[in-house]
Structure 1
Amino acid sequence: MSGSRITFHVGQDGQPEALERVAAHVRAQLARTSHEELRSARRPVFAGIGASFAALAAPVEVLRAHGVAAQRVLSSEVESGLSGFDTDLLLGVSQSGRSSETLAAFTAAEGARTVAVLNVSPSPLGDLADLTVDLGNEPDSFASTIGFTGTIVALDLIAGAMAGRAGDPWQGIGARVRSVRELAAAAIAPLLPRAAACVAADCVASGGSRTSAEEAALLLREVPRMPAAASATRNYLHGEMESAGNTLHVVFGDGREIDLAHTLSGAGHLTLLVTTQDVDPGEHLGVVRIPEVAVGPRAVLETVVVQELVQALSIERDVPIESFVFANHDTKQGGLNPEDFAVAALTSHSS
């Protein structure tokens, strides 16, 4: 496989098996002697842009819980170098290995080892890095499915190695993905007519689930073209929720998030809660209950719910999936590949 393009639907359908492959592929790489130095990093800076930046919230949460002083930054923040960052390792994420901002960050990096987490290998970013971890050139959709969730798998396994974590939380991930997708479809279906008429969406979470909220906001913009924003739970409570009105609220979490979901839905605002807790749905509240798992697998399962939501909304809003409007040719080295748009255009409501 060579990181080729597939449609969003094909990505969803093949995701359970793909994630099992990615986990096995990354485990094998981390077992090599050449990757042993990852375990000694104590002050890593994680950098990415777009969806790759969103994916970094989960591993940073894992590392901080184990006492490792990890930071998450936009690649554009370190394009001029690591001055001002007390770090011993720069880990950059780019599924294509061609993201302009991450390439600039690696070019300017001095005084720290560099690790590239990629799907496509070989790639320009991999060529710059001291060390690479790749997903195995998995085919992915333009609005990412397997590439994004596979990146979460890889980053979590890397974080586990850095932290000296016991055990592997990724056993059985394929079966869990299939089960959660079915639960999500059932919970989302009654919400669709009203959700499709919403003018915007707020996606709210804390901790490692900020990965899910940020990816949700991005996919809502990319797939059904719904204006969306991601917020940290406690920040959302400090005024951001005041703009609720004909908005869809997607809330991830088990603590204050449940109260938030009840507050919003109780005031008549359409809310989808993704939680491990036993919460009853209501007139304005949809609930997807996911299994209790570790931070990384939870972010993947929450993202599976989001993928189901956006593909259903694209149909309801009559927006063909991946019918992208803007082509920004300075975001990837060598510009965008026209074939990406050609494959995306193949996706139809009947696929």
Structure 2
Amino acid sequence: MNPELFLADLHDKPARLRELSLADAWGFVSAPMRVLLLGMGSSHYANLVVAARLRAGGVDAVAELASSDLLPAVAPGTLVVAVSASASSAETLDAVDRLGVPVVALANRPGPLTERAERTVWMHAGEERGGVACRSFQHTLALLLARESRLTGAPLPPVQQAAEATEDLLARAAEWRPRLAELLLGPDGTHVVAPARRISSAYQSALMLREGPRLPAVGCETGDWSHVDVYLTRTTDYRMLLLGGSRWEAQLLDWTGRRGSTVVAVGADVPDATSTLRYPHDGVDDVRLLTETLVAELLAAHAWLAAP
């Protein structure tokens, strides 16, 4: 793992997104009776959001950690998609072997998973020389959303708008990043909060701070925050990166306001936020989904570079 190369990987995001073709990525798959998404880490985060969207669109879909001892029974007509950027995650390979059914791999490079798979959908995220799954996470989401589009008739994900939003955040990073780093990287860690429909953004953003600079960080869903994380606002120097757009923000902000917590809002104007960061097309929810993790990724990259 290398922080300089991780930062370079981030700056390559817009170009890679613009090259990504989605229209025919899943053309070989017929409409399944059920969808099972398998993965670990970032792959599982993306799977969670897309499985929920598929269910909301009337498709029987579930996302499972590949390490689970309680994998669902696979009936005929089930599309099993095993997601691993490296195509070598041990738990995902084990799950594929345990299920013993044909699978489609979603991978960024050839490996044991693509060798086991019946077909492969390639992420086309390029080599991530920094050793951190950043572009591959973004491309995983885009490609899984393209699968949702084929199954439910939803529009294809707005990758070109996401590329423009990503490019803007990168171009202006010298203006916003130092201030946000000062506000968010506190002595008691960073808390990232997002709506359920974009929970992958909270989990992935927190992971980026843990994986590179090894900073304490956790992700939480906006509504659930008032039930599970609110308690820390009373006893710690609480720093929150709030990825906006949830209808449950008011009760969260009531608590953080009363207890003087630091709240940095991204992608939406939030009343009484300590600071707010907007970017082009952030009124489009799927642009947020494909873009907003870049904020924490850039904070992580520079904190990693500055670490002893």
Q: TM-score, normalised by structure 1?
A: 0.76
Q: Alpha carbons of 1:180 and 1:272: their partners in 2 closer, same or farther (altered >3 Å)?
A: same
Question: Of 26, 29, 36, which residue of structure 1 is paired with 2:25?
Answer: 29
Deviations 1:223-247 (A, max 9, x none): 2211222222222211422012123
Q: Deviations over 1:193-239 (max 9, x none)?
A: 35334222222222231010010121111122112222222222114
Seen in structure 2, the aligned counterparts of structure 1 residues 47 and 261 have a Cα distance that, compared at 3 Å, is farther
Q: Matched residues in 2 for 1:257 and 1:166: separation?
A: 27
Of the three residues 45, 53, 63, the one matched with 1:62 is: 53
Matched, 1:177 2:170: no
Q: For the structure 1 residues 139 and 179, does the alpha-carbon distance in structure 2 shift closer, same or farther, using more than 3 Å as the test?
A: same
Q: Deviations over 1:269-311 (max 9, x none)?
A: 2222223x333665xx22222412243x322211112212222
Measured after TM superposition, the shift of residue 314 of structure 1 is: 3.2
Q: 2:36 aligns with which of 45, 48, 59?
A: 45
**Where does residue 239 of structure 2 map in the other structure?**
248
* Bigger mean CA offset, 237-246 vs 161-170: 161-170
Paired residues, number: 300
Q: Pick from 74, 87, 91: which aligns with 1:97?
A: 87
Aligned to 1:303: 293
Distance in 2 between residues matched to 1:313 and 1:260, nearest whole Å:
28
CA drift at 1:107 = 1.0
- Indicate the RMSD between aligned Cα atoms, in angstroms: 2.7
Residues 8 and 144 in structure 1, CA contact (< 8 A), matched pair in contact too: no
Deviation (angstroms), 1:84: 8.0
- For 1:15, which of 13, 16, 32 is the aligned residue? 13
- Deviation of residue 253 (structure 1)? 2.5
Task: Map residues 23-172 of structure 1 onto 2, 5 A cutoff.
Answer: 23-24=20-21, 26-31=22-27, 35-37=28-30, 40-77=31-68, 82-83=72-73, 88-110=78-100, 113-120=102-109, 122-136=110-124, 138-140=126-128, 141-172=130-161
SS of 1:143's partner is coil
Taking only the aligned residue pairs, the percentage that are identical comes to 24
Unaligned runs of 5+ in 2: none
SS of equivalent residue, structure 1 residue 41 = coil
SS of alignment partner, residue 292 of structure 2: helix
TM-aligned CA deviation for residue 165 of structure 1: 2.3
Mapped to 1, the partners of 2:172 and 2:144 lie a distance apart of: 26
Normalised to the residue count of structure 2, the TM-score between the two structures is: 0.86
* Kept after mapping to 1: 8 A contact 2:205/2:293: yes
Does the CA-based 8 Å contact 1:251-1:273 persist in structure 2?
yes
Unpaired runs of 5+ in structure 1?
Answer: 321-351
Compared with structure 1, are the counterparts of its residues 86 and 189 closer, same or farther at alpha carbon in structure 2 (3 Å cutoff)? farther
1:79-104 residue CA offsets vs partner (Å, 9 max, x unmatched):
x7543889812211100000000001
In structure 2, give the amino acid aligned to 1:231. C
